[in-house]
Amino acid sequence: MKRRVVVTGIGAVTPLGNDVDTTWQNILAGKSGVGPLTRLNPDDYSAKVAAEVKDFDVEKYVERKEARKMDRFTHYALAASMMAIEDAKLTIDESNAERIGVWIGSGIGGMETFENQFETFQKRGYRRVSPFFVPMMIPDMATGQVSIYLGAKGVNSCTVTACATGTNSIGDAFKVIQRGDADAMIAGGAEAPITQMSVAGFCANTALSTNPDPEKASRPFDANRDGFVIGEGAGIVILEELEHALKRGATIYAEIVGYGSTGDAHHITAPAPGGEGGVRAMKIALSDGELSPEDVDYINAHGTSTPYNDKYETMAIKEVFGEHAYKLGVSSTKSMTGHLLGAAGGVEAIFSVLAIKDGVMPPTINYDTPDPDCDLDYVANEARKAEVKAVMSNSLGFGGHNATIVFKKYE
């Protein structure tokens, strides 16, 4: 018997707000979190806009002295994890610490730390490089610090699968609980990639939108899309074994029932033609959740606003869902958050469970010019009230990583 797993807590730091409630209200209002690029000099890059976290104060969560020993992606992860634990009303102590784990991924990790410390090395030599350089930079340190600060002593791991990271992390944590290796997991993704080299690299491979209008640059599935808008933040969920959650009277947002993960074996950046790898991930997730395609009401798509991703993901959805593809809602919340890379799947998992809880499908904003290749119902421009019993969330990453998770209303 598979153990049932539910979501009992959520926490987020995003370009739309430094908590879940603010972020979600802005999502439902169709508000864009994209603005002019301010962390860097926009004159140095072809991309002029970014989805930056605003007015975030790490000292609400960590003392300044300790915060200086962490990269920003870890700041975001710690804040979101603390919010999620508080939301779940989950106390971690010696009675349960060994049965509560952490699985938080990051696609890039501490790139800002790397750049700053390399500049110090070049100008002042190796003796002036911080002794905290390596622990600040490595992607697993978000998981490490969350474990340390919250006292979780169970399974402790980190996934790095580019833009599929957050979804893979939640899916892998789900399986840890399902097979009995933990009773609860703190899971999701964190990213702080708005740095000189990260933006330069994405500009160089022409992945980023060069649309200078912040309000319109991120436009998934629209015929005039020209690339993604880079974003930052963290999204964390608390997963719990059902009986463990019920025993302590936890509030249940939704049940996570399915997970699929595949590889394209095709290209380092381009998705496989027709979204073939995504097709398999979605089918595996449905089978794992013992659901038929007709059971799914809404898909939170990867929907990056790049020409090939949106076309191939649409093709993949039609391959998996057949005629039902035209009856369900599909939207890309990246139209509002930008693309948070390794954190995207964590944030979008939160949107997925809130869609179930609140009975609403988030919109795809900036959907103005239909693309003949993208002909599904993208919940254009306005959120839609609807009964949402089951949601699929897709994430697809450089290297051919495909990850899909499925949530359904808890019964």
Residues designated catalytic = 163, 302, 339
**Helix pair angle (72-88, 141-150), 10° resolution:** 40
Cα–Cα distance, 82 to 36 (Å, whole number): 29
Buried-exposed string 121-137: b where 16+ CB fall within 10 A, e elsewhere: eeeeeeeeeeeebebbb
CB atoms within 10 A of CB 33: 26
**Cβ–Cβ under 8 Å, residues 220 and 332:** yes
Handedness of CA 267, 268, 273, 279 (dihedral sign): positive
Asked if 349 and 235 count as a contact pair (C-beta separation under 8 A), the reply is yes
Burial of 55 (0-12, 13-18, 19+ CB in 10 A): exposed
Cβ atoms 303, 313 nearer than 8 A: yes
- Token digits of residue 191: 């990213």
CA distance 83 to 20: 9
- Cite the beta strand spans of 15-99 per DSSP E: 35-36, 49-50
Q: What is the largest CA-CA distance in the chain?
A: 64
3-class DSSP state of 395: strand
Are 328 and 298 spatial neighbours (Cβ–Cβ below 8 Å)?
Answer: yes
DSSP state at residue 12: E
